[in-house]
Amino acid sequence: MGGSTRNPGVLQRDDSPSQSPYQRLSQRMLDISGDRGVLKDVIREGAGELVTPDASVLDITLWGMELGLLSMRRGELARFLFKPTYAYGTLGCPPLIPPNTTVLFEIELLDFLDSAESDKFCALSAEQQSQFPLQKVLKVAATEREFGNYLFRQNRFYDAKVRYKRALLLLHRRTAPPEEQHLVETAKLLVFLNLSFTYLKLERPTMALRYGEQALIIDRKNAKALFRCGQACLLMTEYQKARDFLVRAQREQPYNHDINNELKKLASYYRDYMDKEREMCHRMFAPGDNGSTVGEN
């Protein structure tokens, strides 16, 4: 789930005797917890379905925030009041939030991913999946890819790889009519690029190169695919192949800093490699202690 959360405002210690900003605000807010522990005020309406309980969410640390999100739609901006039981409780969160404090949050819901729908579809056999329209397959594959992106951002590269491969399997299984095949190829290209990058993070450059080359079959001038292949070859110390890929990438995007920096890195690595080669040759053929060279009697 994508969204933004502003820092909580501390409104009231729960043992305060006088009327507080919390009490004044709460009079016009909607009770969504049933006990007035979580109150909501919609600032901007959203659209579509409510967030599902199985949706993927980011960094949800408060019970009240979870309940609040389940009341929201895509694009919605809302203000929430959380009583201590639904926020930081009797301990608070020193030094910013004292114990037994009611807090104010503003949350904007940018998007969310429905894992239940995706998991249910992926559990079907290939024959059952083929009964659905192509748009359904593309939607589920895109959801799997987005899950992979979420896991990748959390540095969970192995789990991200699993999601990307699920997306790729769905796309490989599907036979589309010629007029729609470009939609499948476009979706595959994105997954190939994701897998190439993920295998680089997993320090498996051979697999990164394989998926990068698969992407180039679809789009031979794709700068990102060329760049990933160059990175993989550099890690494999295949310097000439790395240079070929990176120069092609630079040709497509001459001002791309990442590509240009990788070419500089390649030049540095290659110089170090040649220096070591010359040093090794010098040692092999340098005169020994007795004045003879290797191979002399």
CATH number at residue 228: 1.25.40.10
Q: Which of 129-133, 156-160, 275-279 has the lowest mean pLDDT?
A: 275-279
226 shares a domain with 175? yes
Per the model's pLDDT, the better-predicted residue between 278 and 261 turns out to be 261
- Name the domain boundary from 84, 109, 134: 109
Which domain covers residue 150, as residue numbers? 115-282
Which stretches of 130-204 are DSSP H helices? 134-153, 157-173, 181-201
Give the pLDDT confidence score for residue 115 in this predicted structure.
Answer: 75
Let me know if residue 150 belongs to a domain.
yes
Tell me, yes or no, whether 176 and 144 share the same domain. Answer: yes
Distance CA(250)–CA(258), nearest Å, equals: 10
Lowest mean pLDDT among 55-59, 62-66, 123-127: 55-59
CATH number at residue 43: 3.10.50.40
Each residue's pLDDT tens digit, 171-225: 998 888 899 999 999 999 999 999 999 999 999 999 999 999 999 999 999 999 9
Q: Is the pLDDT of residue 113 over 80?
A: no
Highest mean pLDDT among 51-60, 127-136, 266-275: 127-136
pLDDT of residue 56: 63
Residues 207 and 224 in one domain: yes
Structural domain includes residue 10: no
Angle formed by the axes of helices 223-235 and 257-285, to 10°? Answer: 20
Query: What is the residue-averaged pLDDT of the chain?
Result: 86
Cα gap 182→141, rounded to integer Å:
15
Residue 292 scores a pLDDT above 50: no
Burial letters for 259-278: b for 16+ Cβ neighbours within 10 Å, e otherwise? beebbeebeeebeeeeeeee
pLDDT of 295:
45
* Model confidence at 62: pLDDT above 50: yes
Higher model confidence: residue 83 or residue 21? 83
Residue 5 domain-assigned (yes or no)? no
pLDDT tens digit string along 146-177?
A: 999 988 998 999 999 999 999 999 999 888 88
Q: Tally the residues of the chain.
A: 297
**pLDDT exceeds cutoff 70 at 2:** no
